[in-house]
Structure 1
């Protein structure tokens, strides 16, 4: 992952860099490549693809609004977070669909929450999801997930992959929001299946690889049948 920090105040740049590094260390994630720029001209001259951008609005030379507009044209998937002391510029910034807004001085807890959201967004776009399990944070490839099931007797769910299982207290809705909708289907309030791993099904149950199965809610059978039939046509 490439994180860009663009601010003409070097102290702000170093603070953001330190916070980013602290988050990745704390969550035992692979460290990102962090690039610091002190002007709009410098960031636009870079030939590196940005994934997350922390962008100041009020800079000498090319301002953050112009920089943001240029970045989204070149890198539509870039996640842009505005950092500024001037909230009156937010309306203009919203035109290039900023992901979050952080005011100066930067508050650590809010920064960490927004960074976590940005990483989740990045991994969702890239076909990966973030799972918190037994005090650790895992980044899983969506294509390796066979199914997700909720344990109705306790407040957790299990993610079954081709090689392992992960139990987490994250909600089914939060996991679903990170999964690519084209290949995953929620067949029941307690189950989400990856249609690539379906072996067979009947009107009440879906049988998956690795000897797993998921229930189909009665009211969802017709929708499942149509969705899965459409999915199969895309594989031909």
Structure 2
């Protein structure tokens, strides 16, 4: 993981760095690389990967709106925090799918809460899962798994690439897949929130229209709550 901070205010850059380091110290995880930039030009000239970005909007030269749009165009998975005192930029910032909007002065408790969600999202995007079949092992990003289905004696992993007949049972997949993105809606189905198109009290339609999963009535409320939380944390 590589975290970038872009703000023309040196004190704000220092404070964000301090909060990031404090968060990882609190969670007993080694702090990733943190790189700082004082303007949009220097940030855009940096060609290395940026996984999480804290971005000021009002800066000399290129403003944060342009920078955010450009970085999202280069890497749609970048997680962007907009950090600013100017609420009038919120609508423009949301157009390039800002993860969170943090107002100055920063509240450390809110900062930690949002960092936890950002790290969780990053892990979900980058985590890869092994799919073992009788023919061999295939490794895919977790995000490529549409759903897992128990069909008769088979367990089928439906993915964006193709279907795989897994040698493992549903309990194995329930424990392996990240819980913030996957939900067991029925004893025969585990669905990926990312690929849901729509749902009602009994049925969930997935990406492309070719997949659907059953939803038991007793799980409906818990599923709906988890799905809405997922949407909130990934917008």
Name the counterpart of 2:124.
Answer: 124
Asked if the contact 2:51–2:78 (Cα under 8 Å) also holds between the matched residues in 1, the reply is yes
Normalising by structure 2, we get a TM-score of 0.60
Unaligned runs of 5+ in 1: 128-140, 145-177, 188-192, 221-225, 228-236
What SS does the corresponding residue of 1:57 show, helix, strand or coil? coil
* Cα pair 2:149 2:156 within 8 Å, conserved: no
Question: Is the partner of 1:96 in helix, strand or coil?
Answer: coil
Which position in structure 1 is the counterpart of 2:167? 199
Find out whether 1:75 has 2:90 as its counterpart: no
**CA 1:87/1:186 → structure 2, altered by over 3 Å: closer, same or farther?**
farther
Is residue 2:40 matched to residue 1:40?
Answer: yes
Residue 151 of structure 1: aligned partner: none
SS in 2 for 1:36: strand
The answer on whether the counterparts of 1:142 and 1:180 sit within 8 Å (CA) in structure 2 is no
TM alignment of 1:117-196, pairs within 5 A: 117-127=117-127, 142-143=129-130, 180=143, 182=145, 185=148, 195=157
Runs of 4+ displaced beyond 6 Å: none
Q: 1:200 to 1:42 in 2, by over 3 A?
A: closer
Which one has the largest radius of gyration?
A: 1
Quick one: distance in 2 between partners of 1:119 and 1:87?
A: 25
Aligned counterparts of 2:171 and 2:16: Cα–Cα separation in 1: 47
In the alignment, which residue of structure 2 is the partner of 1:216?
187
User: What's the TM-score once normalised by structure 1's chain length?
Assistant: 0.60
Tell me the residue number matched to 2:22: 22
Distance 2:3 2:33 in 1: 6
- Deviation of 1:182 after TM superposition, in Å, equals 1.3
Structure-2 separation of matches of 1:208 and 1:142: 12
Deviation at 1:11, TM superposition (A): 0.8
TM-aligned CA distance change 1:16 to 1:186, over 3 Å: farther
Q: Please give the root-mean-square deviation of Cα atoms over the aligned residues, in Å.
A: 3.5
Distance, in Å, in 1 between the alignment partners of 2:165 and 2:96 is 38
Long gaps (5+) in structure 2: 132-140, 158-163, 174-183, 190-201, 204-209, 212-235
